[in-house]
Copies of this chain bind each other. A is one copy, B any other.
Amino acid sequence: MDPSRLATGALRAPGRRRANVPEATVARLPLYLRALHVLAEDGHQTVSSEALAEAAGVGSAKLRKDLSHLGSYGTRGVGYDVTNLVEQISAELGLEHRCSIVLVGVGNLGRALAGYGGFASRGLAIDALLDADQGRVGEVIAGLTVQHVEHLPQVVSTGSIGVIATPALAAQEVCDLLVAAGVTSILNFAPIVLTVPDGVDLRKVDLSVELQILSFHEHRKAALTAAGASA
């Protein structure tokens, strides 16, 4: 979020030249990674930027520029080595050593997240489930036993990512607990604006916001066709 944290261009390794990868590029790296996994399972050894861009749903020029930000790992005239590219992107995303994820709030959404296969498939796995409701403590979901939220400091390790899937009213309190426990990366699903101290990365996913954006487009399309029909 804060791009003023650069000033580190001098200490990068001489071989690699990934200095400051743009945020927009980082947001697309997971897409490339997923497409590459599919291609690898399909038996492709190499892939051109055109084909990979097609598979990831982006433009080929954008893809090449994105990949160029983390080094030149392609071969002109041939394309990119699929396996190598998977490794490079995984390393860039920090997925080589499995990241510990702590999920707080085992309601409907929390259950869905715990059972979501997309995490565990590649380097990401939920390590702990927490809830404030004693009635849910002890329940086993997706192979994990739900613990009381008081045990949060014990399940958090350095580099943990916190996921908040609680009701909106409890979200800020849980967020503060996470921060107090040393978590510096938080993903919030509660429909509320959270405040965190500097140095903590906070992302949010609001399901209803996405629907409202679609509603806007649908509404506008309806208005346009109505106007077009009358014109």
Contacts and interface: CB of A to CB of B under 8 A. Distances in A.
Interface of A: 5, 8, 11, 26-27, 29-31, 33-35, 55-57, 92-95, 99, 101, 107-109, 111-113, 115-116, 118-119, 121-124, 158-159, 161, 163, 184-187, 191, 193, 201, 203, 205-222, 224, 227, 231
A118 B109 CA distance: 12
A224 B29 CA distance: 20
> What DSSP secondary structure best describes chain A's contact surface?
helix
Contacts of A55: 193
A48 to B, nearest CB: 17
A213 B5 CA distance: 17
Given A109-B116, A193-B35, A206 B30 contact: yes
A195 to B, nearest CB: 8
Given A94-B218, A219-B93, A27 B124 contact: no
A221 B86 CA distance: 22
Given A55-B193, A94-B219, A94-B220, 6 more contacts: A27-B213, A30-B209, A92-B216, A111-B111, A158-B222, A159-B219
A122 B211 CA distance: 11
A198 to B, nearest CB: 12
30 contacts: A11-B227, A11-B231, A26-B216, A27-B213, A29-B212, A30-B206, A34-B191, A56-B193, A92-B219, A93-B216, A93-B219, A94-B220, A95-B215, A99-B218, A107-B112, A109-B112, A116-B207, A116-B208, A118-B191, A121-B208, A122-B208, A123-B215, A124-B208, A159-B218, A161-B211, A161-B218, A185-B214, A187-B210, A187-B211, A203-B213
